Chains A and B, each alone.
Chain A
Amino acid sequence: MNGSEPTFVRKTLAPARKAPVVTTGLIGFLRTRLFNSPLNVVLTFASAVLAWFVLEPTIRFLLVNAVWQGSDRTACLADKAGHPVGACWPFIQAKFTQLIYGFYPEDQRWRANLTFALAALLLAPLLVPKIPGKTLNAALFFLAFPCLAFFLLRGGGLDGFAFYWLAELFSVAWKPSLMRFWLDFSLTTTVVIAVVILLWGGWPNGRRAGLVSALTFAGIAVVIVTLRLDQGGLPVVDTRQWGGLLVTLVVSITGIVASMPIGIALALGRTSRIPLLRIFSVAFIEFWRGVPLITVLFFATYMLPLFLPGDFTIDALVRVLVGIALFAGAYNAEVIRGGLLAIPRGQREAANALGLSYWKTTGLIVLPQALRHVIPALVNSFIALFKDTTLVLIVSLFDLLGQLRAAFADPTWATPTTLFTGFAFTGIIYWVGCFAMSRYSLFVERRLNAHRQT
């Protein structure tokens, strides 16, 4: 066989051989990536030195020189410990409950714990694609859980349902009593189920929808009985007493969850062909994007009450939640609009040609694709929002960082390293939250983009 011959026919096939050792494994990695040129040798050593200068003091501060036990500041002083002192972990131990619950009454903290547990229990199966029953799971997490969490965390009961509210609306005297409460509940249930069945095409087409709403009301009844909402419910814990990680989680999760539908609606509005809708969406988005979050929070807390009628008050936390949801919604709207614009016009045309309506085309064809495109950008804004929630501090809500600063003020724990210890601890909590979101979004991206791999 000679390369210079004009024609060639292979007689035997060349068998696959193992790759030379120099290109694979650890040795291959070292040779091809770290030490393959004089410049890279220098860079490798420089990076190693840099890593050492960062990691060594961190580990020394957090672990080696750290103080692990003690009951007050003296344990964390160098002359008492007998060595240079790093992190003062007893400070975190002493303030731990405060950092998690704020000033939530000690004997009621089980309610916060129960809420955390319920959230975890409902969220975990929602995040694992293999577990079935996503519709029910999502309905429980996004609709039922927030209502339940409200009555669990804040407490208080219900006076009645639709007929009670109607009576109040028309200023009809209504003296709440147990019997009236349950009468009202059954009547409301009946009316709602009837309306649902009618809306879903009457009997027998609406049978399923009617059954679903009946089961929903049965679930509501169970919750009412267990939490005794008909008899005043749990003792009320005012939101001013909430704090710490509890507030951080309530604000950020509500913000993230509520901003999504707002963002989708605004993005669709902005790309709509109906001028009024478009103008409204543009104005709304530009207004909320143009105002700093701090201004929004200030306005919601201190200015809004001045505009509202005298006896009409909204809880401070609720005002903040609404403000943050609208603010984040405006940001999400632009992200989602970017995704909508990336969908070729042919997709909508093909769906239309098959006879799908605007809403079905949007919900089944356009949005699923658009949202996939913007997962990285959306998670970006969720992470930013998670960290921005700490701004609620300026309107006197004590989130995790707010509680930490309150804890710094305690003279029992005033040591040279208290400040660093506290920030290191909260920093780790924030980092774990953000990193988890980031990794999960990568997982979702890879799963949803299965169709792009050929």
Chain B
Amino acid sequence: MRTARPDMDNRMAADPIIRIENLNKWFGDFHVLRDIDIAVTRKERIVVCGPSGSGKSTLIRCINALEDFQEGKVVVDDIELGPNLRRVDDVRREIGMVFQSFNLFPHLTVLENCTLAPIWVRNMPKKDAEAAAMKYLERVRIPEQANKYPGQISGGQQQRVAIARALTMNPKVMLFDEPTSALDPEMVKEVLDTIMDLANDGMTMLVVTHEMGFAREVANRVVFMDAGQVIEVNTPGEFFGHPKHERTKLFLSQILR
């Protein structure tokens, strides 16, 4: 079954910062991403949802080349990433990423986690890097934890450090790969609030999440994926109010109770 290609979006997106064209990826013989076409405008907030195994994470990991792909292309801020991934470093410099399992560096303090990349990738002097890092730690509201190790702070705090760490590189786009799935329920809100703050400041972001309340509140568009394909792309109001595709209706009926 051919999915509705969101060509309409391409026309709407006058100034796309991310263009994904005809992206196809296989894990061995398994066709994990099929004919993906998505364009993301500057300052746009996209939420990607779908059942597990539908390829959501793989899709956003293709954008900053943590995964390679076999066909198609990804263009980020006019930097083209083809199947040979030659311009990986340039692309990664434009994109910040937050992972489900935080992936903070456990042997470095919170502050060192945040100064590592500015010092070693941007050759920033240590003092400047630390001042900048403190600014971002204040923005995610945990400057007082700067000298602790990740293992000494709560999961919600760790995820906020991870967001601050990504921001220290001044990314143009932020990718969130299920940022709240590994958190205790009472910590989900503090992380979502931080992401919402970022959204309100005009950050372009793609968020893979199962938090439908968050999607409704923050997203400009919701992308629904299943079996490696984009099934439906719509505004949150339409998506949750009047889902078009049968698969979308089924999915929503199962997660919204």
- A residues lining the B interface (CB < 8 Å): 344, 346-347, 349-357, 360, 364-365, 368-369, 372, 448, 450-454
Contacts and interface: CB of A to CB of B under 8 A. Distances in A.
Given A451-B150, A454-B152, A353 B66 contact: yes
A354 B66 contact: no
13 contacts: A344-B103, A347-B105, A350-B97, A352-B66, A353-B64, A354-B165, A356-B120, A360-B120, A360-B121, A364-B116, A453-B152, A454-B151, A454-B152
A353 B95 contact: yes
B92 A451 contact: no
B117 A355 contact: yes
Given A350-B104, A451-B106, 5 more contacts: A346-B103, A349-B99, A450-B149, A451-B152, A452-B106
B99 A451 contact: no
Contacts of B150: 451
B78 interface: no
A11 B55 CA distance: 58
Interface string B96-115: 11010101111101000000
A346 B99 contact: yes
Contacts of A349: 66, 99, 103
Nearest to B100: A346
Contacts of A369: 105-107
Contacts of A453: 151-152
Contacts of B117: 354-356
Contacts of B101: 344, 346
Contacts of A448: 107
Given A346-B101, A364-B120, A369-B107, A355 B169 contact: yes
B93 interface: yes
B166 interface: yes
A360 B149 CA distance: 21
Interface in B48-105: 64, 66, 89, 92-93, 95-97, 99, 101, 103-105
Contacts of B152: 451, 453-454
A451 B107 CA distance: 6
B177 to A, nearest CB: 10
B248 to A, nearest CB: 30
Contacts of A360: 120-121
Contact of B93 (A350, A355, A372, A452): A355
Top 8 nearest A-B pairs by Cβ distance?
A451-B149, A350-B103, A354-B117, A346-B103, A353-B97, A355-B121, A355-B92, A355-B93
Contact of B166 (A354, A357, A368): A354
A351 B165 CA distance: 11
Contacts of A372: 107
Contacts of A351: 105
A215 B99 CA distance: 46
Nearest to B65: A352
A350 B117 CA distance: 11
Nearest to A360: B120
A350 B89 contact: no
Of listed A352, A372, A453, residue having the most chain B CB within 10 A: A352
A342 to B, nearest CB: 12
Contact of B89 (A346, A357, A454): A357
A391 B27 CA distance: 51
Nearest to B116: A364
Contacts of B97: 350, 353
A369 B66 CA distance: 21
Contacts of A368: 107
A351 B120 CA distance: 11
B91 to A, nearest CB: 9
Given A450-B149, A451-B106, A451-B107, A350 B99 contact: yes
A192 to B, nearest CB: 24
A354 B121 contact: yes
A354 B151 contact: no
A354 B107 contact: no
Contacts of B93: 355
Contacts of A344: 101, 103
Of listed A346, A347, A351, A354, residue having the most chain B CB within 10 A: A354
Contacts of B109: 451
Interface string B156-167: 000000100110
Interface in B140-181: 149-152, 162, 165-166, 169
Nearest to B94: A355
A454 B148 CA distance: 10
A353 B95 CA distance: 8
A350 B109 CA distance: 15
A428 to B, nearest CB: 38
Of listed B64, B106, B109, residue having the most chain A CB within 10 A: B106
B105 A350 contact: yes
A437 to B, nearest CB: 23
A353 B92 contact: yes
A364 B169 CA distance: 17
Interface in B215-255: none
B106 A353 contact: no
A451 B151 contact: yes
Nearest to B97: A353
Given A346-B99, A365-B105, A354 B149 contact: no
